[in-house]
Amino acid sequence: MLLLFLFFSNCASGDKIFSTDVWNITYDDQQGGITLTYKSKNICNGMYASYQWEGKEIKTSDYARHKISTGKVSDSFGKGHIYKVEYTDKELPKLTQYFYLYPGKEYILTDFTVEAKEEISSGRMAPVNVDSISGFLQAGDNRALFVPFDNDKWIRYQSHPLGFDTLVSYEVTAIFNNESRNGLVVGSVEHDNWKTGISIGKGDRDNIGSLVCYGGIADEQTRDVKAHGALAGKKIKSPKVFLGFFEDWCDGLEAYAKANAVIAPPKAWEKAVPFGWNSWGALQFNLTYEKAMEVSDYFKENLQNNHFVNPDQTVYIGLDSGWDCMNEEQLKSFIEKCKSNGQIGGIYWTPFTDWARDPERTVDAAPEYKYKDIYLYANGKPQELDGAYAVDPTHPAVEAMMKKISGLFHRAGFEYVKMDFMTHGAMEADKWYNPEITTGIQGYNYGMKLLNQYFGDMYINLSISPVFPAQYAQSRRIACDAWNQIKDTEYTLNALSYGWWQKYIYQYNDADHIVLRDATDGENRARITSGVITGIYITGDDFSAGGGKDGKEKSQKYLTNAAVNAVATGEVFRPVEGNGEKSEHIFVRKTPDGRFHCAVFNYSDQEQTTVLSLERIGLDKARGYQVKELWSGNETSATGQLEVTIPSKDVQLLEFK
């Protein structure tokens, strides 16, 4: 990212105030920190930076002197201003704190550097520390959002009422009032070196007590057993942090995602959103060459000719784990079958794992090494996660495996690959093969760049993986595994409720394989709708000749609804509310051509009636609308509000005109 600094107006002491159209930033000598106000609303007082150095926490308030300067910046965010504070002390490394402000933006960015004549090292750098926060939200249903580091182990997002003791979120959080929707969004927009945590301290039901956003989190939720690695050098840098106040917290999280995309643009994709099938939904390790061929024919003969096809008139037929039951000639034959049926073949790999957990096993692609040579060790032991040992993404044997596997995939003709269990490659370790790598996320970035070198001409879909960094794949599964029941729909929509914004760091979100067998009709409609409103549209029943009748009949009944499938453009729906006990149940999307869709789910065992306020969901309360329910085709009209009654474990997908 190009940065052009033009500093001016130095001031050695006293309060220094700088204002843009909406932001006011002040260095307060009495508090020894930064005061931020947005449109005259006080956001925080006494904000300071801190870092760990030689076993101690060093704060900007520990420094004897500071010097303030302001200047201009021109970068990927546009033309803006910089507020810079330089801290010096004869006993401490120099610390330089930066604030980046851009006209018209509801957010600022901040980071800092630490430098010395000799090498320094730190495993924790916190650009944002506020020990006590005055209330920036009105009294009411005030919330703080937990965002997980990855999507493993059926982890959930959570909207927490304030009043908790401590809440730690990963990479980003939102602190908001659900009624007004006003909210503060704080999170990292750089993911090259650090795993970032946001720690929120105890306040009361209307206000948080304290706030810290720092690079250097490593714990059970990041799948680590070892402390975060340290950055070392004569000059080291914190993560860059986004801090913004928004009228609508949903807009704030989307702005946060788009700021990430400015720094690391999503991996390009010029084609339509993938529709398709994945073998793990039902076949799993019962996959065979013959069954894969039969599934391809089933789609050609029953679904592609009946509205289950993307706007490019294509579907993707994906072989998941277990594809290695086929030899290379069979894989090539499968791809030929797919192409003759107007399909694209997909396949699967886990680049950073050893499932055999056999240290003495020779690495096939690099026979000079054994697996014990390539593990990521923590405290001298291999690291096991989800039943597999983690391998070092920087080891040459891993690149050799990538070269070998990508060669097979390319020779066979695959154009889509699902990459799974990626968090293994982001774990902290005793050391890495490449000595320049000192943190887990550095190692992960190294491995993902290699992955793109070998697989980058394919569509890459990440499965189990960290949310960030996001620029190496077109899509990512928004949650953990999901199948056919209403609990699977609710679990997937928990992630959509509070993680829909990831659409703006990837091309698409992924709701996992949609399975229809052994579930009610309502559950089928709900599960399909959860995929349609999330992103890519991937099914999972056994459509081979020996596959069950139930899944096939339901696929022909429910995967072929033209009106529903037309909604599946890959453009994400977002929640109307943010105070669900588990997940939200109302989601909306307005399309560029002016169409408005609203999905209303019932996760319960009882019929439910919901009264939709048209104003609350984003429509004109004074206007009249024609409303069509896309599953049934039923039509009605509405002005001001609409009463919707939904049977148990079902959904209504509404189109307003």
In sign, the C-alpha dihedral spanning 183, 38, 82, 61 is negative
Per residue in 109-125, pLDDT (tens digit) is 999 999 999 999 999 99
The DSSP output letter for 559 is T
| One-letter amino acid for residue 407 of the chain | G
The pLDDT confidence band at residue 14, using thresholds 50, 70 and 90, is very low
- What mean pLDDT comes out for the span 353-364? 99
CA 428, CA 115: separation in Å to the nearest integer?
A: 24
Helices (H), 140-288: 249-263
Per residue in 269-327, pLDDT (tens digit) is 999 999 999 999 999 999 999 999 999 999 999 999 999 999 999 999 999 999 999 99
Model pTM score: 0.97
CA 510, CA 456: separation in Å to the nearest integer?
A: 19
> So what's the pLDDT on residue 15?
52
Rg (CA), the chain: 26
The pLDDT confidence band at residue 605, using thresholds 50, 70 and 90, is very high
Q: Are strands 624-629 and 142-146 parallel, antiparallel or unpaired?
A: unpaired
Is residue 6 predicted with pLDDT exceeding 80?
A: no
Can you state the angle between helices 289-298 and 328-340, rounded to 10 degrees?
10
What domains are there in the chain, each with its CATH number?
Answer: 6-263 (2.70.98.60), 275-567 (3.20.20.70), 574-656 (2.60.40.1180)
CA 463, CA 650: separation in Å to the nearest integer?
A: 27
Cα–Cα distances (Å) from 651 to 177, 205, 522, 544, 639, in that order, read 27, 33, 7, 29, 22
| Neighbouring C-beta atoms of residue 65, cutoff 10 Å | 11
Query: Which helix (H) or strand (E) element contains residue 278?
Result: strand 275-278
- What mean pLDDT comes out for the span 533-562? 99
Per residue in 382-414, pLDDT (tens digit) is 999 999 999 999 999 999 999 999 999 999 999
Tokens coding 467:
């949310």
SS3 state at 441? helix
- What mean pLDDT comes out for the span 350-354? 99
Within 13 Å, how many C-alpha atoms sit on residue 537's CB side?
27
Per residue in 438-460, pLDDT (tens digit) is 999 999 999 999 999 999 999 99
CA 446, CA 141: separation in Å to the nearest integer?
A: 43
SS3 state at 595? coil
Contact criterion met (CB below 8 Å) for 182 and 249? yes
Contact criterion met (CB below 8 Å) for 342 and 300? yes
- Range name among 8-12, 486-490, 614-618 with the lowest pLDDT average: 8-12
Backbone dihedral angles phi then psi of residue 602, each to the nearest 5 degrees: -125, 105
Query: Which helix (H) or strand (E) element contains residue 292?
Result: helix 289-298
The pLDDT confidence band at residue 10, using thresholds 50, 70 and 90, is low
What is the number of residues in the chain?
Answer: 657
